[in-house]
């Protein structure tokens, strides 16, 4: 799943063409992501408009996001397929203020424990823009581009 996100981000940086003159028309896009009625913080949102660069955004603590495309604010105008993913938090991790003894203790506690794959915090069915059934019609009118994605189980 991380590969999908990294690929989407890389593609958004690369774009498709030689420069600003070749760049697609972008419109400001914002929105909100909720899951079972609660805002989703730290989710990655991807918009894919056919034959145009991928747009990405990340939700804040209130579930709100703004889209960017190739480092530029906005998303290409057109019918976008949308993907949303958020990995669950990792339980214990070293912090900069930990002492060596604390780190050793943490490592000893984790030894022998089976590593579990990172589980998503929201259902995987929303992660792939091609199959999520989430869409957004990005208009040249930025005022019309405030999308709400109420995700459920």
**pLDDT by residue (tens digit) across 57-74?**
999 999 999 999 999 999
- pLDDT tens track for 23-61: 789 999 999 999 999 999 999 999 999 999 999 999 999
Cite the beta strand spans of the chain per DSSP E: 26-27, 30-35, 38-39, 44-49, 55-58, 64-66, 68-69, 72-73, 75-76, 78-85, 134-138, 146-151
Give the pTM.
Answer: 0.70
More confident residue, 141 or 103: 141
Q: Locate tokens 């918009």: which residue?
A: 47
Q: Number of structural domains, the chain?
A: 1
Range of the domain at 62: 2-151
- Mean pLDDT, all residues of the chain: 83
Which range is least confidently modeled, 32-36, 100-104, 141-145, 149-153?
Answer: 100-104
- How many alpha carbons lie under 13 Å from residue 144 in its C-beta half-sphere? 9
| Dist CA 67 CA 131 (whole Å) | 20
């Amino acid at each position: 799943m991380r590969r999908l996100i990294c690929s989407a981000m890389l593609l958004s940086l690369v774009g498709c063409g030689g420069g600003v003159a070749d760049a697609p028309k972008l419109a400001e896009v914002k929105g909100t992501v909720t899951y079972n009625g609660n805002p989703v913080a730290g989710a990655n949102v991807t918009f894919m408009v056919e034959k145009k660069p991928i747009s990405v955004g990340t939700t804040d603590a209130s579930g709100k996001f703004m889209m960017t495309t190739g480092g530029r604010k906005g998303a290409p105008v057109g019918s976008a397929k949308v993907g949303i993913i958020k990995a669950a938090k990792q339980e214990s991790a070293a912090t900069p203020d930990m002492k060596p003894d604390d780190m050793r203790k943490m490592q000893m506690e984790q030894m022998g424990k089976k590593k579990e794959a990172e589980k998503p915090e929201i259902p995987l069915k929303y992660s792939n823009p091609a199959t999520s059934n989430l869409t957004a019609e990005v208009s040249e009118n930025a005022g019309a581009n405030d999308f709400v994605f109420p995700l459920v189980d």
